[in-house]
Amino acid sequence: MIYIGIDPGKKGGISAIQQNGLTDKPRENRGADGKRFPSDPYVYIYPMPDTEQFILQMFKNIFNYRIGIWDLQTGQKDISSEPERMKAIIEKVHAFPGQGVTSMFTFGQGYGFLRGCLVALAIPFTEVTPQKWMKHFGLKKNKEETTTEYKRKILQKAQNLFPNSTVTLQTADSLMLAEYLRQTDRS
């Protein structure tokens, strides 16, 4: 299963968590003591592309990985693998007081485009409010916290959950959305 988290907006991101890679063989690592342990799922993290063409291409790339056209670990074609199912989650956001009409229109247009990409590629998706997924991870903003401090708390949580991945302030929310979907998926 591949879980896609989408944090819409220019300063957002798109992340995908692929549970077991493209083969049925789980990857294993050895710790310092030589004991085997399962590795983290494959994680792909992208800052939000600047143009609609790049957004669509990125979704097509994720979709092509799903059907086994390209094995990301070896860089080789792997058509033998079974197609994996995909699910996406997109953060449901709304207008804030003081936002300009033009910026809200542009944001809404981008949000609709992201949804359209998911529909066009037949990737089922749900929407979730920021409050819901943040509550799931115990991330509550304190009254004295600035937005930047709070974002850093989300970044720290993402880095703790995925220590082998490069997570930034821009991409932390999308990765946490993908992980929220992975943890709450009941199918």
Residues in the chain with pLDDT values less than 50? 21-39, 67, 69-70, 79-83
pLDDT of residue 23: 35
- Pure H helices in the chain: 52-66, 101-120, 130-136, 147-161, 172-184
pLDDT of residue 135: 94
User: If DSSP codes are grouped into helix, strand and coil, which group holds residue 59?
Assistant: helix
pLDDT of residue 25: 37
Residue 91 half-sphere exposure toward CB, CA atoms < 13 A: 28
Q: What is the pLDDT of residues 119-129, one digit of tens each?
A: 888 889 999 99
pLDDT of residue 37: 40
Q: Domains plus CATH for the chain?
A: 2-184 (3.30.420.10)
Among 24, 123, 119, 5, CA closest to 64? 123
Pairing of β 125-128 and β 86-91: parallel
Q: What is the pLDDT of residues 84-116, one digit of tens each?
A: 688 999 998 766 666 666 666 566 677 888 988
Instruction: Give exposure, 1-34, as e/b (b: 16+ Cβ within 10 Å).
Output: bbbbbbbbbeebbbbbbbebbbeeeeeeeeeeee
Most distant CA atoms of the chain, gap in Å: 59
